[in-house]
Amino acid sequence: MLELQEIRKDFPILAREVYDHPLVYLDNGATTQKPRSVIDAMTNEYLNVNANVHRGVHFLSQEATRIYEEARETVRAFIHAPSTAEIIFTRGTTESINLVAATFGEAFTQEGDEVIITGMEHHSNIVPWQLLQMRKGIVIKVCPITDEGRLNLDVLPTLFSPRTKLLACTHVSNVLGTVNPVADIIRLAHAHDVPVLIDGAQSVPHTTVDVQALDCDFFAFSGHKVYGPTGIGVLYGKRQWLDRMPPYMGGGEMIQKVTFERTTFNELPYKFEAGTPDYVAANGLARALDYVTAIGMSNIEAHERALTRYAREQMALIPGMHFYGSSDDAVISFNVAAGEAGRGASLIHHLDLGTLLDRLGIAVRTGHHCAEPLMHRLGIEGTVRASFALYNTKEEVDALVAGIDRVRKMF
Distances (CA, A) of 245 to 126, 127, 209, 233: 20, 20, 24, 19
> E strands, 93-204, where?
114-118, 139-143, 164-170, 196-199
Is 143 part of the annotated catalytic residue set?
no
Q: How far apart are CA 315 and CA 187, in angstroms?
A: 37
Which one of 157-165, 195-203, 266-274, 340-348 is the stretch in contact with ligand PLP (CB under 6 A)? 195-203
Q: Minimal distance in Å, beta carbon 343 to ligand PLP? A: 29
Q: How far apart are CA 245 and CA 219, in angstroms?
A: 16
Considering beta carbons, is residue 143 or 360 the nearer one to ligand PLP?
A: 143
- Whether the Cβ atoms of residue 137 and residue 112 lie closer than 8 Å to each other: yes
Which one of 87-95, 263-271, 341-349, 397-405 is the stretch in contact with ligand PLP (CB under 6 A)? 87-95
Distances (CA, A) of 224 to 159, 301, 404: 34, 18, 28
Q: Contact between 174 and ligand PLP (CB under 6 A)?
A: yes
Q: Minimal distance in Å, beta carbon 197 to ligand PLP? A: 11
Residues 98, 133, 164, 170: which binds ligand PLP (CB under 6 A)?
Answer: 170
Residues 86, 113, 114, 199: which binds ligand PLP (CB under 6 A)?
Answer: 199
Q: What string of DSSP letters covers 312-327? A: HHHHHTSTTEEEES--
Residues 122, 206, 350, 408: which binds ligand PLP (CB under 6 A)?
Answer: 122
Residues 28, 32, 33, 93: which binds ligand PLP (CB under 6 A)?
Answer: 93
The DSSP 8-state label assigned to residue 267 in this structure reads P
Q: Minimal distance in Å, beta carbon 311 to ligand PLP? A: 19
Catalytic residue of the set 143, 169, 216, 370: 370
Q: Contact between 202 and ligand PLP (CB under 6 A)?
A: yes
Using the Cα atoms of residue 51, residue 54, residue 57 and residue 62 in order, give the sign of their dihedral.
positive
Q: Which of 364, 366, 373, 367 is nearest to 122 (CA)?
A: 373
Residues 28, 109, 124, 308: which binds ligand PLP (CB under 6 A)?
Answer: 124
Give the x/- contact pattern for ligand PLP in 358-387, rule: CB under 6 A. Answer: ------------x-----------------
Q: How far apart are CA 321 and CA 158, in angstroms?
A: 36
> Taking phi first (over 0 means left), then psi (-120 to 50 degrees means alpha), and beta for anything else, what does residue 354 get?
alpha
Q: Minimal distance in Å, beta carbon 6 to ligand PLP? A: 28
Chain positions 213 to 232 lying near ligand PLP, rule: CB under 6 A, are 222
Q: Minimal distance in Å, beta carbon 370 to ligand PLP? A: 6
Which positions are annotated as active-site residues? 370
Binding site for ligand PLP (CB under 6 A): 92-94, 122, 124, 170, 174, 199, 201-202, 222, 370
